[in-house]
């Protein structure tokens, strides 16, 4: 009798597990660090909605914003372990997995977002989407945020103004070199800690896009923002090879289609948000926006440009040349 009971219990466990595998929807957790009212936040929510519409019963997307699930230092590790299926870290946060993407951090390499877009769509740019393959990650597409500005407790007009100041940076050696080039001290810190570090004056400044400065209220604790447009903050939407390959082919195709549409939507928002959030910061009067004259801007370019050569070996000269050419 006992044997029968055990056998029945074992059988029902098997059935439950079996049916969950065959019938239940695949849960796709999308983790990110920014607020929902940002290009990335909006893109992730759009992706979730499109999947709910088109793949009901097959895939459910759950979005976790504001570093709720994983901060930016953990998300890729968690993805490889299968604890999260999708994310879109800034291109500056992949250096443990590839050195190639460092190209996007080179100061003053891209004149504006149209150049970034052009380069990303070129053969070299597309080649970079595959740069994580060997590490078990699949690059599904680029997503824009925008050009970075310098915010600080002191007005920054020329590089000498940054001397001795502490700046929070993303985990990128190129960004570290960029601030060292103006004799400032870079500190690699997760995005979730930036507001408090600024508020408590543990650091003097940081670099970010208008939408991040606005949505995370950095402008409330930074009296000056220099409109430097010195670098780009963009993302790569990534998943793990293991998860991606486990999907049925038709599901994979539909997911990619939904993602491409969500990215196009996010990119549109990115362009508009940069303008709107910049204006909201001006209107708040909490922060003074500093415009650089051509001569002042040239000083920043001159001071920071040697960083290109410093990283030429790791990134590849052909890559840098291709990106530079996109400005023409
Ligand atoms: C940052 O850490 O400053 C950004 O990468 C945050 C983000 O994802 O936009």
Dist. CA 147–CA 272, nearest whole Å: 13
Separation of alpha carbons 71 and 62, rounded Å: 16
Q: What angle do CA 137, 211, 27 make, to 5 degrees?
A: 35
- Helix or strand or coil: residue 263? helix
DSSP state letter for 34: S
Ligand 1 neighbour 198 (Cβ under 6 A)? no
In 148-246, which residue ranges form alpha helices assigned H by DSSP? 173-180, 194-199, 210-215, 241-246
Collapsing DSSP to helix, strand or coil, 164 comes out as coil
Q: Could you give phi then psi for residue 315, rounded to 5 degrees?
A: -90, -40
Q: Tally Cβ neighbours within 10 Å of residue 129.
A: 18
Give yes or no for residue 219 CB within 6 A of ligand 1.
Answer: no
Span 269-304, pLDDT tens digits:
999 999 999 999 999 999 999 999 999 999 999 999
Instruction: State the Cα–Cα distance between residues 126 and 118, nearest whole angstrom.
Output: 11
Find the range with the poorest average confidence among 21-30, 76-85, 207-216.
Answer: 21-30
Ligand 1: distance of its center to the CA of 169 in Å?
9
Ligand 1 site, residue 213, Cβ cutoff 6 A: no
| C-beta 240 within 6 A of ligand 1 | no
Angle, helices 113-121/249-284, rounded to nearest 10 degrees: 170
Whether ligand 1 lies within 6 angstroms of the CB of 33 is answered as yes
pLDDT averaged over every residue in the chain: 94
CA atoms of 175 and 173, how far apart (whole Å):
5
- The interface predicted TM-score (ipTM) is 0.97
Q: Which of 64, 90, 95, 273 to mutate to test the pocket of ligand 1 (most atoms within 8 A of CB)?
A: 90
pLDDT tens per residue across span 29-52: 999 999 999 999 999 999 999 999
Residue 92 CA: nearest ligand 1 atom is 5
Tell me the pTM: 0.92
Mutation test of ligand 1: which of 30, 31, 33 has the most ligand atoms closer than 8 Å to its C-beta? 33
């Amino acid at each position: 009798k006992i044997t029968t009971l055990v056998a029945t219990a074992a059988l029902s466990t098997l059935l439950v597990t079996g049916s969950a595998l065959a019938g239940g929807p695949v849960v796709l957790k999308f983790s990110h660090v920014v607020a929902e009212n940002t290009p990335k936040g909006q893109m992730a929510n759009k992706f979730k909605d499109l999947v709910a519409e088109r793949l009901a019963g097959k895939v459910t997307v759950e979005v976790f914003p504001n570093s709720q699930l994983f901060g930016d230092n953990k998300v890729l590790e968690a993805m490889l372990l299968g604890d999260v299926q999708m994310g879109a870290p800034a291109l500056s946060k992949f250096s443990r997995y590839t050195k190639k993407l460092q190209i996007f951090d080179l100061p003053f390499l891209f004149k504006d977002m149209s150049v970034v877009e052009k380069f990303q769509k070129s053969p070299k740019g597309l080649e970079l989407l595959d740069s994580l393959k060997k590490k078990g990650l699949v690059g599904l597409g680029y997503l824009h945020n925008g050009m970075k500005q310098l915010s600080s407790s002191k007005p920054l007009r020329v590089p000498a103004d940054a001397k001795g100041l502490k700046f929070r940076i993303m985990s990128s050696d190129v960004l570290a070199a960029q601030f060292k080039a103006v004799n400032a001290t870079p500190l690699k810190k997760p995005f979730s800690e930036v507001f408090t570090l600024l508020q408590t004056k543990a650091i003097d400044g940081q670099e970010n896009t208008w939408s991040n400065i606005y949505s995370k209220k950095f402008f409330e604790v930074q009296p000056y923002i220099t409109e430097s447009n010195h670098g780009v903050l963009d993302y790569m939407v990534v998943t793990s090879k293991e998860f991606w390959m486990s999907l049925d082919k038709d599901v994979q195709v539909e997911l990619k289609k939904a993602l491409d549409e969500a990215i196009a939507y996010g990119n549109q928002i990115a362009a508009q948000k940069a303008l709107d959030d910049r204006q909201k910061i001006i209107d708040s009067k909490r922060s003074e926006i500093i415009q650089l004259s051509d001569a002042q801007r040239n000083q920043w370019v001159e001071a920071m440009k040697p960083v290109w050569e410093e990283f030429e070996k790791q990134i590849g000269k052909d890559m840098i040349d291709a990106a530079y050419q996109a400005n023409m």
